[in-house]
Amino acid sequence: MCGRFALTATPDQTAAFLGLAELEDFPARYNIAPTQPVLMALAGPPLAPGSNLPDRQAMLVRWGLIPTWVKDTREFPLLFNACSEGAVEKASFRAAMRHRRALVPASGFYEWQQTGGKRGQPYWIRPRNGGLVAFAGLIETYAEPGGSEMDTGAILTVNANADIAHIHDRMPVVVHPRDFARWLDCRTLEPRDLADLLRPAQLDFFEAIPVSDLVNKVANTGPEIQVRGVVGPESEKVRRQKPGADDSQMTLF
């Protein structure tokens, strides 16, 4: 599962990584959570012959995909992840898998190892060699009853590799730069042509760093949440003594 991630690279670094012409300025984001806006890249409209412009475009979407057929969003679950296995057969993701595949740039993601405590031990999981990573994403434009439209999205997940499985049994699907064009090509490639991309990241691609429980609160958005730390028994005891703690986001996991 991927329920939190970070994007701390500069707009120029992110644009270069995704092959975009440019991006509007944005701040480093250390604790991105479902329902918040996230940056995605998708294939742009066909270019004129001889054009040397990038063939990709950026889009800000609400993290939490809403299929076009949903009548009442209040009664629909928050689809911030999509299991890559069988996603093309599921009504919620079928159209997006065929027509609106995207890339989600990230500096890394967070996952929680359940250790018997209420929240478990959080880990900051990032590329071992630094830099950015792209997760496989899906986009769906939802038309609200009032007529306004909202772009929404989800991150595809797959069974975790051996490096991550001791923390959680799922991880985001990683799309490598050499495969960006294939993944985004919704004009000529069907999901069945991309099955080889929907696999766990290779071993040693990520490193997992234990961090404190500061990341549990969405309101904590600074770099301190990525500082190495361990959630011990005392932390759990303190939390039990403070039932008013904000659990709203962790219920997503």
What are the residues whose beta carbons fall under 8 Å from the beta carbon of 251, sequence distance 6 or more?
A: none
Q: Is residue 115 over pLDDT 90?
A: no
Please report, rounded to a whole number, the percentage of residues in the chain having pLDDT higher than 70. Answer: 91
Q: Is 149 helix (H, G, I), strand (E, B) or coil?
A: strand
pLDDT at 118: 67
Average pLDDT over residues 22-36: 97
pLDDT at 119: 67
Pairwise CA distance, residues 65 & 153, whole Å: 4
pLDDT at 249: 37
Which stretch of 51-55, 103-107, 122-126, 188-192 has the lowest confidence by average pLDDT? 51-55
Per-position DSSP letters for 164-227, written without gaps between them: TTTT-SEEEPEE-GGGHHHHH-TTT--GGGGGGGSSPPPTTSEEEEEB-GGGGSTT--SGGGGS
pLDDT at 202: 97
pLDDT digits 0-9 by tens, 147-179: 899 999 999 999 999 999 999 999 999 999 999
Say what the alpha-carbon torsion angle 13, 16, 36, 59 is, to the nearest 10 degrees. 150
Is the Cα dihedral 8, 59, 45, 156 positive or negative? positive
pLDDT at 52: 73
Task: Place domain 4-226 in its CATH homologous superfamily.
Answer: SOS response associated peptidase-like (3.90.1680.10)
Q: Report CA 50 to chain centroid distance, whole Å.
A: 34
Closest CA to 53 of 9, 15, 25: 15
> 237: pLDDT confidence band, cut at 50, 70 and 90?
very low
Q: Is residue 201 over pLDDT 80?
A: yes
Average pLDDT over residues 122-136: 97
pLDDT at 157: 98
> 58: pLDDT confidence band, cut at 50, 70 and 90?
very high
Residue in this structure with the two tokens 């993290």, named with its chain if needed: 63
Both structure tokens of 41 = 């890249």
Phi first, then psi: give them for residue 68, nearest 5 degrees.
-65, -25
